[in-house]
Chains A and B, each alone.
Chain A
Amino acid sequence: MRLRDEAPAKVDEETPWVERETLIEASPDEVWEALTDEDRLEEWLAPDVDLDPQEGGEIAVRDGDEERSGTVETYEEGERFAFTWSRPGEGESFVQFTIEAVPAGTRVKVVETPMAVALAGWGPRLARLERSLRFVLVA
């Protein structure tokens, strides 16, 4: 989907399609570094990660034959890190991490939402789907 060429796209962050969280026994600073430093990302996300950690910066994640790339959307030091990513020829999705200090350590939440559902076979319904689900709110 090339909506992004026309206007800044914004994902409705309140209604993620997938939401997962975990509790890490470490400080928010330690977790933030693991989420946003490309060498650290290579320890857990994929063997080969390029990241320019600033809004508008590029991200590329390679794991064998699988490659995803996209753009950093939000970079709020120590709090929120969001980017879009997609595999070549597939629909883009929006990924956002938020971190929060809790007594036991740091809670990390991740959400992923299709920017526009490029699920096979849904093509003709795409416009309606976008309206119905408000994946993408044009700012």
Chain B
Amino acid sequence: MRAPAHRQVDSVFGALADPTRRRVVETLARGGIVTASGLAEELPITRQAVSKHLSALRGADLVTSTRVGRETRYQLRPQPLDEAVEWMQMVGAEWDGRLDALRRSVESRRSDAR
């Protein structure tokens, strides 16, 4: 028997309620298929913490995994949260650009004043 649809919605949003898991999702969305170690390199958390978050995301059906040799590779299953991921990526990229412009603006004033 299929679980009622709202149960799935709850588990998706529950999985997204954690900010670190949102970072994992965002990174997976950017990076395609990755390993837990690869994720740990990109994020300020341990490999162990990455595994924990991946397993929570897998529980919510947001991540699929495949074994290739000795490695487990993870891939986002973005359909349930396409729009949220798109928003995070877009807004994140906007702030990357703006913060860079802010830094240049402040630092260039500094060098002008010297």
Contacts and interface: CB of A to CB of B under 8 A. Distances in A.
Interface of A: 14-26, 30-31, 34-35, 40, 43-45, 93, 108, 110, 112, 114, 117, 119-122, 125, 128-129, 132-134
Nearest to A46: B98
A119 B87 contact: yes
A44 B98 contact: yes
Given A24-B102, A45-B98, 18 more contacts: A16-B19, A17-B91, A18-B92, A18-B95, A20-B95, A24-B106, A31-B106, A40-B105, A44-B102, A93-B91, A108-B103, A117-B84, A117-B87, A121-B83, A122-B83, A125-B9, A132-B13, A132-B16
Interface string B54-89: 000000000000000000000000000001100110
B30 interface: no
Contacts of B101: 43-45
B100 A22 contact: yes
Given A22-B103, A34-B105, A120-B83, A132 B17 contact: yes
The DSSP consensus for interface residues of chain B is helix
A17 B19 CA distance: 7
| List of 6 A-B pairs having minimum Cβ-Cβ separation, nearest first | A132-B13, A44-B101, A119-B83, A22-B99, A44-B105, A20-B95
Nearest to A135: B17
B62 to A, nearest CB: 14
A20 B99 contact: yes
8 contacts: A17-B91, A25-B107, A26-B106, A26-B109, A45-B101, A45-B102, A125-B9, A132-B17
Given A26-B110, A30-B109, A34-B106, A110 B10 contact: no
Contact of A18 (B13, B16, B18, B91): B91
Contacts of A35: 102
Contacts of A23: 103
Which residue of A14, A40, A133 has the most chain B CB atoms within 10 A of its CB atom?
A133
Given A18-B92, A132-B10, A110 B83 contact: no
